[in-house]
Amino acid sequence: MHEKSITINNDFDFAKLWFDKTCSNEYIKANISFISQYPFSTNIKETSINLLKNFKIEFLRLKPNQESLEKLLQFIVGKDESPLSSVLWRKNKPRNINLPTKILDFSFDENSNTTLILTMNNAWAVSFQISNTNNNTIKSKFKLIIKLLGRPSALLYIDAA
């Protein structure tokens, strides 16, 4: 499974990675508020949910398009020499492999309120999960774990690990 994680901190700006833009000041300020309030709150789950809700609002505000969705996949899969990345990013892709062009759904996983599922056309799906590296200190860290959940059936046999 392809997976990446990013530490959410005061200057966490995912828009630079996938949108060639920056996140709004409102998004950054809200994250700073959630993170700074966490040590004084015993509710890790509530903080995680607030961070994830804030992420979803900002992600949709940035109006994802085909280019940004492809950059998201490149971020997760990489552009290295793995079998999957070598098929996805080569110039002459097989005809039956289409990258995503639009979002079909972006909602919380029905089994977890700390995971969002981004469902895109052409059989692509990605999850965004908030995880807390709580080590019983005030400096606990929140991570956004991004996983490739679904891909076209023509790619299922490639790099299935």
Between 41 and 146, residue with greater pLDDT: 146
> DSSP alpha helices (H): ranges in 38-88?
44-61, 66-77, 83-88
Q: 115-137, pLDDT tens digit by residue?
A: 999 999 999 999 999 987 665 54
Please tell me the predicted confidence (pLDDT) of residue 10: 78
- Beta-carbon contacts of 18 under 8 Å, excluding residues fewer than 6 positions away, are 64, 68, 69, 71, 72, 75
Question: What per-residue confidence (pLDDT) applies to 63?
Answer: 94
Average pLDDT score, the chain? 83
Q: Which two tokens stand for residue 117?
A: 């599922």
Instruction: Tell me the C-alpha distance between 54 and 31, whole Å.
Output: 8
Mean pLDDT for the stretch of residues 42-56 = 85
DSSP 64: -
> Burial letters for 74-109: b for 16+ Cβ neighbours within 10 Å, e otherwise?
bbbbeeeeeebbebbbeeeeeeebebbeebeebeee
Residue 80 has pLDDT above 80, yes or no: no
